[in-house]
Amino acid sequence: MDVYEFIKNFLDKKEKNASLLRYNLNIIDELHADENAHTRILLKLLDYNLGEKKVILEEFLNQLNEKLPNQKIPLLDDYRITGQFAYIDGYIRSDSAKVAVIIENKINWAEDQKEQIQRYIESAKNDGINEKNIFVVYLTYNGVKKVSDYSLTPKAKEMLDWKDVHNQGRYIEVNYREDILPFLHKIFDNFGFSKESVLKSAIFQYIDYLEGRFGIRKSEKEFNKAMSEDLLKILNIDDNLSRKEKLNKIEEIEREISESFGNLKNEIYPWEDRPEGRLDEYLGIFKDKKGPFKNCSIWEGWLLSFTRCEIKNREYDIKFEICPADDETVVTFKCQEEIEDENFIKNILEEMGEMKGFKLFNNTKNDYRKNIDISETKNYIENFIEKFEKYVKKENAT
């Protein structure tokens, strides 16, 4: 196959089909919403009152009840909706019936924390909720991510009357692709919102945002369909071939194109000279040090390292990131979860003597970044890991 002829034809077809794509500006896209922001959006919608009734919440609870095998969530008029109660993402509580719905949002694939669901159930019980009236919603991106036993412990399963994967008691798996998106379409189409034009606009924006994340915006689907049809013609893939034969041919061409581009990139900018070429060396430091950062991986030009770190009987999800650039290295140190102490990471850095150069990123809480020289990066990583490990040991010894 002539790769360069393919590229020329591909670009020609892309230009031809570009008119199918409408110009799109989605505020949520541009603001790069994290899991906490998605939770706030959902809770704000659920808290909408029509007269004295939370009609969107009722619709949501009805949808959850369809997934429950036995005990259902009662539809009550006195539900209160709060975020970050006892670190719970979403907390829906009835004072009269002592019922609570706990929402744990994992849309961006955040890792489970040790005994996380168990702790949330116990927090609800301490809030006066009857154990048998506690429901847990595990909300994910597309349903692929499943809760771990590390979070949903045997004790938590017992409290939720979990029998097996087919009868999960009062534990409910919900995802944005199959549940929240259809739910949003339903309330957008069925509720008038005659006096709430901004609310209706917000729902429309959120629908558009999610459809964009799932690649199902109407204009994008039309563009992708046209491009697929043109690509099949460019690649001379016969319609009479079976699906398996078509797939095999596409994968063969994909490997050929990938190899050609790989060779081209290495000629222009050899791997060992590129910023990402330094990541393997940095990853080795984490493995050699055997410090608190246990879960380390390289992803799209970043070295990501995580720790579920217990500090003074409280477990935190802390992230230490390394991103090499052409002439410097970007270092990020942050807390992955939303916590009440806005100076948590700042205090750690100051205690370690590492605050110099770090700045709060985009005015977010507990997310600090700094740039360092390439020549200093290796030693910096080694020293940072050692200092953080000493800090944790010191805090837990007092």
Report the b/e string of 282-302 with b at 16+ CB within 10 A. Answer: bbebbeeeebbbeebeeeeeb
Q: Which positions ≥6 away from 148 have C-beta within 8 Å?
A: 112
Question: How high is the pLDDT of residue 1?
Answer: 67
d(CA 366, CA 336): 8
Band of pLDDT at residue 398, cut at 50, 70 and 90 = confident
Whole-model pTM: value is 0.68
**For range 38-53, the mean pLDDT:** 93
Cβ atoms of 94 and 74 within 8 Å: the answer is yes
Question: How high is the pLDDT of residue 146?
Answer: 94
Q: Which amino acid is at 303?
A: L
**For range 200-209, the mean pLDDT:** 95
Cβ atoms of 127 and 99 within 8 Å: the answer is no
What stretch of H or E contains 206?
A: helix 197-213
Give the C-alpha distances (Å, rounded to integers) separating 40 from 81, 83, 197, 338. Answer: 10, 7, 19, 12
Question: How high is the pLDDT of residue 141?
Answer: 95
* Cα–chain center distance at 242: 37
Q: What is the pLDDT of residues 306-362, one digit of tens each?
A: 787 888 878 888 989 999 988 899 999 999 877 888 999 999 999 999 999 999 987
* CATH 3.90.1150 residue ranges for the chain: 276-397
Structure token pair of residue 345: 């990471």
Give the C-alpha distances (Å, rounded to integers) separating 129 from 154, 165, 200. Answer: 20, 25, 34
Highest mean pLDDT among 33-47, 173-187, 222-236, 314-328: 173-187
Average pLDDT, the chain: 90
Helix (H, G, I), strand (E, B) or coil at 354: coil
Structure token pair of residue 94: 């009835």
Report the b/e string of 56-72 with b at 16+ CB within 10 A. Answer: bbbebbebbeeebeeee
Q: What percent of the chain has pLDDT over 90?
A: 55
Q: Which fold has domain 276-397?
A: Aspartate Aminotransferase, domain 1 (3.90.1150)
